[in-house]
């Protein structure tokens, strides 16, 4: 319970304190083209993943184990990722099933995903070199780090056996995002009866990724369910008219959210209850796309701005936590001093502010560049 209030206090207090610093920007224009409550939710999801990894990071430096002693903390990260996958399915459900569109689609996706992925990898390498030196024999390993998450092969280098934990290993989800994108042309062939030969390159790429990554059948079914839930939400649930007041919808949404948190944090004590969670995630997401905004919280200016920056928050928070905890563990008296807690607060605000900056000055520019070159 203490972790619950700590995490959500920081999430909402951050919005309150940063709101005066946010000015109108190009990102607002982009947000207006989307559903703003969905953007606000993305900030909360990215924050849940970030705090999940914060406590994992502390435990790692204390015990050497990348885990947590709290069921709540262990749960909120996977929960955030699950809803992110559902959102991906939702956002791309109406992608045109047209052969001529696919080149344009993948160019857009590349310029959306690659820049921050490269920055995250560069920061991991830079930190490793600064703190652990440079091993010339490991130079070749660095090339694996610039696959934009396609395979997520992240070998250790510079004699540090936990290189992938510098950014909390978050790029594993990019593999599934890419596989989801690659399946879209394949499904378009099936649904629209396109020529089989036009989808062969995508089938080859997908099979190659699967053969290298070797995901379990359970992962394929589970993550496939999440993406499919997003698509189903867009194709069908979004179009259903419901007669329910906004206040009741918000109460229902928050209720499903809390039920997911409560059940997910206690699956060790309730046998088989974990199998209900994907369906509860779907019900929760349905309330969001039907307009739930948590009594206006999700549509506030700062929440939507931070939602726009959620990809940067997601990919970069681990680097900030690693620096914070590595420095205090190795150069100070540990994690109990008041200086540490002040530094923790400042680090979290730095993550949010830096992510907004990167979104406006890096992400948006590459997004627009991708759009520009596909118009030629």
Residue 60 backbone phi and psi in degrees, to 5: -65, -45
- pLDDT for 30: 46
End-to-end CA distance of the chain: 55
Query: Band of the pLDDT at 193, cuts 50, 70, 90?
Result: low
- pLDDT for 32: 46
SS3 238: helix
Residue 34 backbone phi and psi in degrees, to 5: -115, -175
Cα dihedral sign for 314, 316, 322, 327? negative
Nearest one of 24, 7, 34 to 298, comparing CA atoms: 34
- pLDDT for 51: 97
Residue 151 has pLDDT above 60, yes or no: yes
Determine which helix (DSSP H) or strand (DSSP E) holds 91, and give its type and residue range.
helix 71-91
- pLDDT for 29: 43
Determine which helix (DSSP H) or strand (DSSP E) holds 263, and give its type and residue range.
helix 246-264
**E strands of 186-227, at which residues?**
none
Residues of the domain holding 125: 2-374
Answer whether 89's CB lies under 8 Å from 180's CB.
yes
Residue 376 has pLDDT above 70, yes or no: no
pLDDT digits (tens, 9 = 90+) for 126-138: 999 899 888 888 8
The DSSP 8-state label assigned to residue 360 in this structure reads: I
Answer whether 204's CB lies under 8 Å from 147's CB.
no
- pLDDT for 209: 96
Query: Band of the pLDDT at 26, cuts 50, 70, 90?
Result: very low
How many CB atoms lie under 10 A from the CB of residue 221?
11
Total number of domains constituting the chain: 1
Residue 77 has pLDDT above 70, yes or no: yes
pLDDT digits (tens, 9 = 90+) for 139-150: 888 999 999 999
Nearest one of 286, 373, 355 to 115, comparing CA atoms: 355
Distance separating alpha carbons of residues 264 and 271, to the nearest angstrom = 12
Query: What average pLDDT score do residues 338-351 get?
Result: 94
């Amino acid at each position: 319970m203490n972790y619950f209030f700590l995490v959500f206090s920081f999430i909402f207090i951050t919005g309150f304190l940063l709101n005066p610093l946010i000015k109108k920007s190009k990102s607002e224009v982009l947000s207006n083209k989307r559903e703003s409550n969905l953007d606000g939710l993305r900030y909360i999801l990215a924050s849940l993943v970030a705090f999940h990894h914060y406590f994992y990071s502390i435990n790692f430096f204390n015990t050497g184990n990348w885990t947590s002693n709290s069921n709540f903390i262990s749960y909120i990260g996977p929960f955030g990722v699950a809803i992110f996958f559902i959102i991906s399915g939702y956002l791309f459900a109406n992608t045109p099933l047209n052969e001529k569109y696919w080149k344009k689609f993948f160019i857009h996706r590349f310029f959306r995903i690659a820049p921050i992925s490269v920055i995250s990898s560069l920061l991991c390498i830079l930190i490793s070199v600064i703190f652990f030196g440079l091993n010339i024999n490991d130079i070749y390993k660095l090339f694996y780090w610039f696959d934009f998450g396609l395979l997520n092969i992240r070998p250790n280098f510079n004699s540090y056996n936990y290189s992938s934990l510098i950014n909390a290993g978050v790029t594993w989800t990019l593999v599934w995002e890419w596989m989801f994108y690659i399946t879209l042309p394949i499904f378009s062939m099936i649904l629209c009866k396109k020529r089989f030969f036009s989808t062969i390159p995508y089938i080859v790429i997908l099979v190659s990724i699967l053969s290298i990554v070797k995901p379990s059948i359970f992962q394929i079914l589970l993550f496939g369910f999440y993406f499919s839930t997003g698509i189903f939400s867009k194709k069908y649930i979004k179009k259903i008219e419901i007669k329910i007041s906004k206040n009741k919808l918000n109460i229902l949404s928050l209720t499903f959210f809390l039920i997911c948190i409560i059940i997910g944090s206690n699956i060790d004590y309730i046998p088989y209850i974990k199998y209900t969670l994907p369906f509860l995630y779907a019900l929760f997401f349905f309330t969001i796309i039907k307009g739930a905004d948590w009594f206006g919280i999700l549509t506030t200016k700062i929440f939507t701005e931070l939602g726009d920056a959620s990809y940067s928050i997601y990919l970069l928070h681990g680097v900030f936590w690693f620096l914070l905890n590595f420095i205090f563990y190795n150069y100070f008296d540990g994690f109990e001093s008041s200086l540490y807690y002040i530094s923790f607060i400042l680090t979290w605000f730095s993550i949010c502010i830096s992510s907004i900056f990167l979104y406006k000055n890096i992400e948006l520019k590459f997004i627009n560049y991708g759009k520009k070159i596909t118009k030629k």
